[in-house]
Amino acid sequence: MIYADNAATTKLSKKAFISMQKYLLDNYGNPSQLYSFGQESKKAIEKSRETIAKIINCETEEIFFTSGGTESDNWVIKQFDDGVLTSKIEHHAILNSCKKIKNVKYLDVNNNGLVQYKNTQVNGYPLMSVMFANNEIGTIQPIADLAKFAHKNGMKFHTDAVQAVGHIEIDVKKLDIDFLSASAHKFHGPKGIGFLYANKKCGLPAFINGGSQEMSKRAGTENVASIVAMATALEEINNNLAINARHLKKLESIVLDKLKAAKIDFINNSKIDHLPGLLSISIKGVSGEAILHHLDLMDICISSGSACDSKNKQISHVIKAIKVPAEYAKGTIRISFCANNTKKEAQIISEAIIKSTNLIYKKRQL
Ligand code: PLP
């Protein structure tokens, strides 16, 4: 099998898996218990918090463990129920959380997916929330500029960095971010675990009531093993950001060059500064879903949009927002490589896409 849908989820890193085993089989003590067996678990949690805080450059007490990106996003958005300024291309974790908010403005994006915010009426929005990098097309937003704009206009700034953490360098202090959401399964950690960074000056309210875990803000016995594995995975991938990025850019070029050489008529939706290895292309006159199923028969996993949206057969809100012409929009596919993918795999995927596209064209002529 060739797996190239890493923006949907990633394979657990071996190192992360080994690190978590101990806390499942041996050191399974409850971190809230005072005997040393419990305190071993507590120590492992705090060490993981330190590791993560160091990587994104914040204080340890500014990291809160959650069940993943969706929970972190919900935690932030729902505390600003008066008003949120966000974008049209956010993940549904943000868009559907915003349905509970009184006053929401969804900013447009340009054809490259960059949020258009400069001439916006900002009164009535205590929070601005714009994703770091988009999960469908990979566009990286100018986060420092957006945070500056938010602060200048009296707003707090949140970024859903689920696709960015572990893929590009992030320094929350330098970028002046108030809240940041992350999820382990996007960087070779386990599923169902993530974190929220909240600047201590912002006074994060509690989200889940119960025991005193997570500084009494997110109750419930901690998922110790997954927390440890998340920190291990993040540390591992973060040590290789530059090498990975170089490799991933090469894989992208292989696909683009092969499609061009085969004279496939497509639009590259990931042209500008984007997540390394994420390629969204819209092929003229085909169905992205048909290509996905054809590749599935060849044991190749790619996506026809965002995985979280696989039940929705409509053209995605992101592809609509960047105004991909109708004759191309339906033919959108997303290939998202990780560092484990090889050049050979990129070639096989490209050839499979070309074959599938040409088959669809040929059938149509019959
Ligand atoms: N935000 C973005 C940008 C995502 O891509 C995803 C998952 O695809 C999420 C949030 C949700 O994260 P999780 O699966 O950890 O709940």
pLDDT digits (tens, 9 = 90+) for 96-129: 999 989 999 999 999 999 999 999 989 999 999 9
Quick one: which atom of ligand 1 is closest to the CA of 134? 3
Ligand 1 atom 14, closest CA:
69
User: Who's near 234: CB < 8 A, 6+ residues apart?
Assistant: 51, 52, 55, 165, 166, 184, 187, 189
pLDDT in tens, 4-55: 999 999 999 999 999 999 999 999 999 999 999 999 999 999 999 999 999 9
Q: How far is the CA of 143 from the centre of ligand 1 (A)?
A: 18
Probe ligand 1: pick from 6, 67, 70, 90, max atoms within 8 Å of CB? 70
pLDDT at 308 over 50: no
pLDDT at 221 over 50: yes
> Which pLDDT score is estimated for 100?
86
Which two tokens mark 235? 């540390």
pLDDT in tens, 120-178: 989 999 999 999 999 999 999 999 999 999 999 999 999 999 999 999 999 999 999 99
Ligand 1 atom 4, closest CA:
162
β-sheet bridge partners, residue 266: 283
* pLDDT confidence bin for 312, thresholds 50/70/90: low
Kindly state the average pLDDT of the residues 313-321: 90
User: Who's near 63: CB < 8 A, 6+ residues apart?
Assistant: 49, 52, 53, 195, 196, 197
Q: What does 118-162 look like in DSSP terms, one character per residue?
A: TT---TT-SEEE--SB-TTT-BBP-HHHHHHHHHHTT-EEEEE-T
> Which pLDDT score is estimated for 305?
64
Percentage, residues of the chain above pLDDT 70: 97
Q: How far is the CA of 188 from the centre of ligand 1 (A)?
A: 14
Q: How far apart are CA 351 and CA 239, in angstroms?
A: 33
Q: How far is the CA of 309 from the centre of ligand 1 (A)?
A: 11
Nearest CA-CA partner of 194 in 205, 213, 181, 207:
181
**Ligand 1: lining residues by beta carbon, under 6 Å:** 68-70, 73, 91, 93, 131, 135, 160, 162-163, 183, 194, 308
Probe ligand 1: pick from 91, 94, 185, max atoms within 8 Å of CB? 91
pLDDT at 211 over 70: yes
Nearest CA-CA partner of 155 in 188, 178, 189, 181:
178
Q: How far apart are CA 225 and CA 231, in angstroms?
A: 10
- Under DSSP, the state recorded for 186 is G
> Which pLDDT score is estimated for 233?
99
> Which pLDDT score is estimated for 271?
87
> Which pLDDT score is estimated for 364?
82
Q: Residue 165 in contact with residue 69, Cβ under 8 Å?
A: no
> Which pLDDT score is estimated for 280?
98
Look up 308 and say whether it is catalytic: yes
Spacing of C-alpha 339 from chain mean position: 16
Backbone angles phi, psi at 353, to 5 degrees: -65, -45
pTM over 0.95: yes
Q: Residue 52 in contact with residue 272, Cβ under 8 Å?
A: no
Kindly state the average pLDDT of the residues 252-280: 97
pLDDT in tens, 339-348: 999 999 999 9
Ligand 1 atom 9, closest CA:
69
Q: Residue 234 in contact with residue 225, Cβ under 8 Å?
A: no
Q: How far is the CA of 189 from the centre of ligand 1 (A)?
A: 13
Quick one: which atom of ligand 1 is closest to the CA of 194? 15
> Which pLDDT score is estimated for 307?
43
Ligand 1 atom 13, closest CA:
69
Helix axes 14-25, 224-238, angle to 10 degrees: 160
Mean pLDDT of the chain: 96
Which one has a higher pLDDT value, 235 or 310? 235
> Which pLDDT score is estimated for 313?
60
pLDDT at 232 over 90: yes
Q: How far apart are CA 155 and CA 178, in angstroms?
A: 10
CA torsion sign, 149 to 242 to 69 to 252?
positive
Q: How far is the CA of 197 from the centre of ligand 1 (A)?
A: 15
98, 202, 308, 338: the active-site residue:
308
Q: How far apart are CA 93 and CA 98, in angstroms?
A: 9
pLDDT in tens, 52-77: 999 999 999 999 999 999 999 999 99
Alpha helices in the chain (DSSP H): 14-25, 36-56, 69-77, 92-98, 143-152, 172-175, 213-216, 224-238, 241-261, 288-297, 317-321, 326-329, 343-365
> Which pLDDT score is estimated for 173?
98
> Which pLDDT score is estimated for 306?
47
